[in-house]
Amino acid sequence: MKRLFWILSIVTIAGCMDTAGEMAIDFNETGVGGSTARFSIAGDFLYVVNDSELQAIDISDERNPKHASSTSLGWGIETIFGYDGMLFIGGQTGMQIYGIQEDGSPVYVSDYTHSTACDPVIANDQYAYVTIRSGEFCNNIMEVNNLLVLDISNIRSPQLVAEIPMTNPRGLAFFKGDLFVGEGQFGLVRFSLEDPSFPRQKEVYDIPANDMIPLDNTLIITRDEGIFQFGCEEDELLLYSPLR
């Protein structure tokens, strides 16, 4: 019941490296969150970010969750994405990476600083993909709207390898072997990852999208009007149903 509860919670709201000598917790199939989610689950712990902190909550006992730790992250923290025992945290000044120790406590690994902007992030084995955008709540001094590609093969030293101009990028997701980036009212952009260090634009769908939750054959898209479910047939996205 605990696992089912967290699956439903994450889907509705949105989505081991030995860094400290004792990294051992892997992310499992408890739930799938979007790139703009503020919480993620690894093992028996729920990790939640607010504007300035990372909270770890022990959920091993579903009837009695316990606060385990608080970690200061600075200001403007927005999103969290869990992958391969790592927590990728997006904020208005950059991306931070934390590892997870055997007792569930997070430990700082590295960071990458960028221009002040709203900042979701997702990652795979070698690259982290970050969108930075201007907006009413993004504290920008200058207009900035880009897709950043960071080489994280050395997890302690992320390196920028590509910066791709966009209109107003928001959430992003891996789906069907490609990278999808929502641009709000400006649609949904699909990039080929044939060269993962430099995504190439493959398709632009006239589908408003703020964020995506990728499932096996379904892409759940969130936007201002609500949550919508799309199926993918070849390169075409077909509306299955709105989720109400």
CB-side neighbour CA atoms (13 Å) of 154 = 6
For the chain, the average pLDDT equals 86
Does residue 160 carry a pLDDT above 60? yes
Look at residue 141 in the predicted model and tell me its pLDDT. 54
CB-side neighbour CA atoms (13 Å) of 111 = 15
What is the sign of the dihedral through the CA atoms of 148, 75, 48 and 36? Answer: negative
Total domains present in the chain: 1
Domain residues for 224?
2-243
Least confident of 15-29, 54-68, 124-138, 222-236: 15-29
> Which CATH number do you get for residue 94?
2.130.10.10
Does residue 30 carry a pLDDT above 80? no
What's the rounded Cα separation, in Å, for the pair 66 and 79?
22
Contact 215, 180 (CB under 8 A): no
Average pLDDT (178-194) is 97
What's the rounded Cα separation, in Å, for the pair 177 and 92?
28
What's the rounded Cα separation, in Å, for the pair 55 and 239?
37
In percent, the amount of the chain with pLDDT more than 70 equals 82
Average pLDDT (77-102) is 94
Contacts of 236 (CB under 8 A, 6+ apart): none
Look at residue 157 in the predicted model and tell me its pLDDT. 97
Residue with tokens 């569930």: 104
pLDDT digits (tens, 9 = 90+) for 42-69: 999 999 999 999 999 999 998 999 999 9
